[in-house]
Amino acid sequence: MSVRIVVMGPSGSGKSTVGAALAEDLGARFVDGDDLHPLTNVQKMAAGIPLDDDDRMPWLRVVGRTLAAETRIVVACSALRRHYRDAIRAEAPDAVFVELGVAPETLARRLGDRPDHFMPAALLDSQLDAWEPLRHDEVGLRVDAALPLRREVAAIRKALIAITRAPGDAQSLR
């Protein structure tokens, strides 16, 4: 059974931590979408300049192709807007999106706790301004990222089983 999951949310939402734990739980490969950014994007963000759609779209296509190339993969990717998720889906139509719900104050605190990351806390407002939660017609789920990690992964796994299993299908995610 193919498992292609995007763990999404603004910077500081826990995408990498949750994504890595979920991938381990599912026996899948984990890829941090930050590692797929071209150097020009990383330099721009490190300089405190928000990315625009021209910067993001090539990166999102790479994220989608990375998902499509694997049968069991979890990718951490902000996927802030619906049309960004659509760009990923254009490459990996069966991708399931896991939205991490986190309060803005928690995001700011978490970003302050990681001063060596290329994404500065100063760009958080631009991400929150761009944020479009999953819509009812998108395949995915929302989880409270304030839960302890084990409970968060268990909640995601339970919801994924319901989303990915066709009626009468006894296959597990593992």
Print pLDDT tens along the chain (174 aa). Answer: 789 999 998 877 888 999 999 999 999 999 999 899 999 998 887 888 888 899 999 999 999 999 999 999 999 998 989 999 999 999 999 999 999 987 777 766 766 665 565 555 556 666 777 778 999 999 899 988 888 999 999 999 999 988 866 444 434 454
Q: What per-residue confidence (pLDDT) applies to 119? A: 54
Kind of pairing, strands 29-32 and 3-8? unpaired
Q: What per-residue confidence (pLDDT) applies to 35? A: 93
Report which DSSP code applies to 82: H
Q: What per-residue confidence (pLDDT) applies to 102? A: 77
Class of domain 3-164: alpha beta
Contact (Cβ atoms closer than 8 angstroms) between residue 58 and residue 38: yes
∠ CA 93-99-102 to the nearest 5 degrees? 165
Question: Exposure pattern of 145-171 as b/e (b: 16+ CB <10 Å)?
Answer: bebeeeebbeebeebbeeebeeeeeee
Q: What per-residue confidence (pLDDT) applies to 146? A: 82
Token pair for 20: 């890595």
Q: What per-residue confidence (pLDDT) applies to 130? A: 73
What is the DSSP secondary-structure string of 20-55? Answer: HHHHHHHT-EEEEGGGGS-HHHHHHHHTTPPP-HHH
Under DSSP, is residue 74 helix (H, G, I), strand (E, B) or coil? Answer: strand
Q: 78-100, pLDDT tens digit by residue? A: 898 999 999 999 999 999 999 99
Contact (Cβ atoms closer than 8 angstroms) between residue 150 and residue 141: no
- The residue ranges of DSSP E strands in 47-132, in sequence order, are 72-76, 96-101
Residues in the chain: 174
Q: What per-residue confidence (pLDDT) applies to 167? A: 46
Token pair for 59: 């990166």
Q: Which amino acid appears at position 136 of this protein?
A: H
